[in-house]
A and B are shown apart, each in its own frame.
Chain A
Amino acid sequence: MAKLKIFIDQDKCVGAGQCVFAAPEVFDQREDDGIVELLAEEPEESQHGAVMQAVRLCPAKAIRVEEA
């Protein structure tokens, strides 16, 4: 499978944390305001399913992926 590259839009993010529930090894939230942070920009293949789940679940549509 192709590589995935993740893009996050911190202005859109509402700090819902759904991405962290879905893929805790790829996403985290900033301590002070809960805005999304990337732990891995190009996650391992084993994480791809979880990342796609996060993309779908994010209520602010703040996560986008491209095949790198």
Chain B
Amino acid sequence: MTPPPHRIAIVGASAAGLSTCQALRDNGYAGEIALIGAEPEPPYDRPPLSKTRSDTVACLTDVALADEAELGRLDLDLRLGTAASRLDVEGRQVILDSGTAIAWDACVIATGAAPVTLPGNGMTLRTLDDAARIGAALRAARHVTIIGAGVLGCELAALARQAGVAVTVLDPQAGPMLDRVGRQVSKRLKALHQGHGVAFHFGNGVETIQGNDAHGYTVATSDGTRLETDRVLVAIGCRPTVGWLADSGLTLDNGVFCNAFCEAAPGIYAAGDVANWHNPRFGRQMRIEHRMNATEQGMAVAANILGARRVFDPIPFFWSDQYDAKIQVHGVIDGSCDEDLLETNSQNGGFVIAYSRNGTVDGVLGWNMARALRKARALVGQDRSAVITQFART
């Protein structure tokens, strides 16, 4: 048996890193915690940065994840505005870009993910700074082009429309969020956005983005279309932030490769967007870029550092708000699942759909059906045909 840790280093001071700290203290851990974050701000929340509810750009006080009292309670060696540049697995230390070495006997990798960029001046959204820049762009522009019709691209389109800016969205796929929510919901989303005046251009990739803020931009797509626009926003997905681990010897494969205990190597754990762990409930490796997972995985990692030795087998959850539509998903779904409409609400047009793979329900999606969906979560893991029969009767 290894002795319990008394020096814990957590790299990445956002949702997953903070959740780990909180759960360590909640579980009675009284040793040292170093929390290292590349951003200058104390931990803050990202989902509000793209939600239509905030018609003004979010500021730190709106989105802080812990106030001063809470940070005080956590009693951290908090190192903000400093990136870790290397993890020394053998020597049990993490090296900061300042050259400082921090020794640990347990280490948590919570460096999240960063947006994929394109050549040209397209803006991405991940940080508070990005949000401020995009807020300014929306005030200055009459027309924006959004590249990528995924969750973030769709939320940005809604945000821009709410700000009164004309929007064109480009995506090589055939519909918004198609690979995330499947055909039925993608169709509904397309109609929702078009109803709010969004122009879509599907089926073609972007070839070049040229121009500047002063004179505007030209976006060229693979079918020869040339689109004139004031600003370009790029939302084509994220990649896990693992560059600093390149020479660590850890397995890096779609993030930090971990077992069911979220352990990458003895004493080294990963949580949040950066972790690719084995979820025994679904029997496969997964990396989840959802807010809820960052909290839950941080809690699981804290418990395992303190010796709980519990597998992490959540039913992942995510939500997206676009205009007045609240979309929520429990489970793991994509465009290749079989879709079964379970319930509808004739009053508000809401519905619940079950998504199945190989005859098993892998997830449920609700559109303005928060309460019904909460109950439908219990269907995840059940036999598809049994679920269909059950709902046909009611």
Contact = CB atoms under 8 A, between A and B. Distances in A.
A56 B299 contact: yes
Given A15-B328, A31-B371, A61-B65, 20 more contacts: A14-B47, A15-B319, A16-B317, A17-B370, A17-B371, A18-B317, A21-B374, A29-B370, A33-B326, A34-B326, A34-B370, A34-B371, A34-B374, A56-B19, A56-B23, A56-B295, A59-B317, A59-B319, A60-B45, A61-B45
Contacts, number: 59
Contacts of A17: 370-371, 373-374
Contacts of A35: 370
Interface string B25-48: 010000000000000000001010
B348 interface: yes
A33 B370 contact: yes
B348 A32 contact: yes
A52 B299 CA distance: 13
Q: 8 closest pairs, A vs B, by CB? A: A34-B370, A15-B370, A17-B374, A59-B291, A59-B292, A29-B371, A14-B319, A34-B371
A32 B348 CA distance: 9
Interface residues of A, number: 21
Given A11-B53, A33-B326, A33-B368, A57 B296 contact: yes
B373 to A, nearest CB: 7
A63 interface: no
B356 interface: no
Interface string B222-236: 000000000000000
A26 interface: no
Contact of B295 (A34, A52, A57): A57
Contacts of B221: none
A12 to B, nearest CB: 8
A30 B374 CA distance: 12
Interface of A: 11, 14-18, 20-21, 29-35, 52, 56-57, 59-61
Contact of A14 (B19, B296, B326, B371): B326
Contacts of A29: 370-371, 374
Interface of B: 19, 22-23, 26, 45, 47, 53, 65, 291-292, 295-296, 299, 317, 319, 321, 326, 328, 348, 368-371, 373-374
Interface of A is mostly: loop
A18 B328 CA distance: 12
Contacts of A52: 26
Given A15-B319, A16-B317, A34-B326, A56 B370 contact: no
A22 B50 CA distance: 27
A21 to B, nearest CB: 7
B295 A59 contact: yes
A2 to B, nearest CB: 15
Nearest to A24: B374
B36 to A, nearest CB: 22
A44 to B, nearest CB: 20
A52 B26 CA distance: 10
22 contacts: A11-B53, A14-B326, A15-B319, A15-B370, A16-B328, A16-B370, A31-B371, A32-B348, A33-B326, A33-B370, A34-B328, A34-B370, A34-B371, A34-B373, A35-B370, A52-B26, A56-B23, A56-B295, A59-B291, A59-B292, A59-B295, A59-B319
B374 to A, nearest CB: 4
Contacts of B45: 60-61
B335 to A, nearest CB: 23
A60 B47 CA distance: 8
